[in-house]
Structure 1
């Protein structure tokens, strides 16, 4: 068994056994869908003319997937480094690519399951989400979005030395981004300067691409541009993550 396979299998077993993390990974984003979806069911947003569910479902889904990617890798790297597991792994014939590759595989798997579960609930009669014919394009959108936010999580997990620091850094990033990037409120409702800020954030492009692919609120060109920007964020933060990565708190 290769190091990558062993690390992936161990990570999967740890994730399945952690019931609290499983609950917050899959149920927490659904709380927003259920609450806002039931309150504003059958209503349209005046600013865009879109049904509320076609707006909130893709936005909350992408935020939930991004959140899981950032927190998942951030806490894992911090804990492994704090417990000296990374230092022990480094003493074996295990490359950094195997370590990060195993976490990447798990993050993509979790994100895809999250999305299927989320969309299935959103399509139930109380919410009534309708999928567009180009919904299969959501798959590459999800993979690129997870890649970008996993890279951000690597940076956080490599710099933070305590669980409190990971939570503080990740929340300070993800909570404001959820509102500024249009996961919960249309950016058309924001002042022009805030809209400019939104377009500098990776979650904006994740939201936009997910909305376009799931509900048809955008064409192939829009999805392609969003995916290209997400790829750019992934490259930039991936390079930064490799630069700041630490095998041990002693170095």
Structure 2
């Protein structure tokens, strides 16, 4: 068995055995969907006249998937480094690419399950999301989004030395980004300076791409543009992640 396959298998088993983490990974974004969906059920956004669920569902889904990618790999790398597991792995013929690829495949699987479960709940009459015919185009947007946010998680996990530090840094990144990127509130209703600031945030383009694909609130060109920007973010964050990756706190 290759190092990549062994690490992927071990990561999957560890993740599925941690029932608490498993539950909250999928329940957390659904909780926001239920709260916002029930509060604004039947209401429309004044600026566009469209149902509020068309904004909140893609935004919360994007944030939940990005959040899971950052926290998932951040905590694992910090724990593996703190417990010297990475140092032991380094003593074997295992490359950094194998370690990160094993976490990447797991993140893609988690993101896929999150998306299917979330959309299935959002389609219920209580929430009223209506899928556009372009919904399959959400797949490349999700893949590129997970790639970029996983790279952010690698950077966080490479520097943070305690679980508290991972949680603090990741929350400081993801929560403000969620509000500034329109995950919880339509960008159209935000001040101009916030809309301008959101253009520098990867979650903005993940939101836009998912919204355009799932609800038809945008063209194929908009989805392609979101994918292009997310790919650029993924390349930049990926390069930084590889440069900052540490096998041990002593190195």
Q: CA deviation at 1:20?
A: 1.1
Q: How far apart are residue 190 of structure 1 and its match?
A: 1.4
CA deviations over 1:94-150 (Å, ceiling 9, x no partner)? 111110000000000000000000000000111111100010001111000000100
Unaligned regions of 5+ residues in structure 2, if any?
Answer: none
Deviation at 1:187, TM superposition (A): 1.2
Give me the TM-score of the superposition, normalised by structure 1: 0.99
Q: Alignment length, in residue pairs?
A: 251
> What is the CA distance between 1:8 and its match in structure 2?
0.5
Summarize deviations over 1:143-187 as a string: whole Å, max 9, x none: 000001001111100111111111110000000011110001011
Q: How does 1:172-183 map to 2 (within 5 A)?
A: 172-183=172-183
Query: Distance in 2 between the 1:237 and 1:132 partners?
Result: 31
Mapped to 2, the partners of 1:49 and 1:9 lie a distance apart of 48
* CA drift at 1:21: 0.7
Match of 2:161 in 1: 161
Structure 1 counterpart SS, 2:130:
coil
Correspondence 1:34-113 to 2 at 5 A: 34-113=34-113
Q: Tell me which residue corresponds to 2:23.
A: 23
Tell me the CA shift for residue 23 of structure 1: 1.6
Match of 1:245 in 2: 245
CA positional deviation for 1:47: 1.4
Q: For structure 1, which segment, 47-56 or 173-182, has the greater mean C-alpha deviation from structure 2 after superposition?
A: 47-56
Please name the residue that 1:121 is paired with: 121
- Work out the CA distance in 1 between the residues paired with 2:50 and 2:234: 30
Shift of 1:196: 0.7
Gaps of 5+ in 1: none
Give matches, 1:146-225, under 5 Å: 146-225=146-225
Q: What SS does the aligned partner of 1:27 have?
A: helix
Taking only aligned residues, the RMSD between alpha carbons, in angstroms, comes to: 0.6
Q: CA offsets per residue over residues 18-48 of structure 1, 9 Å max, x none?
A: 1111121000111110111111111110012
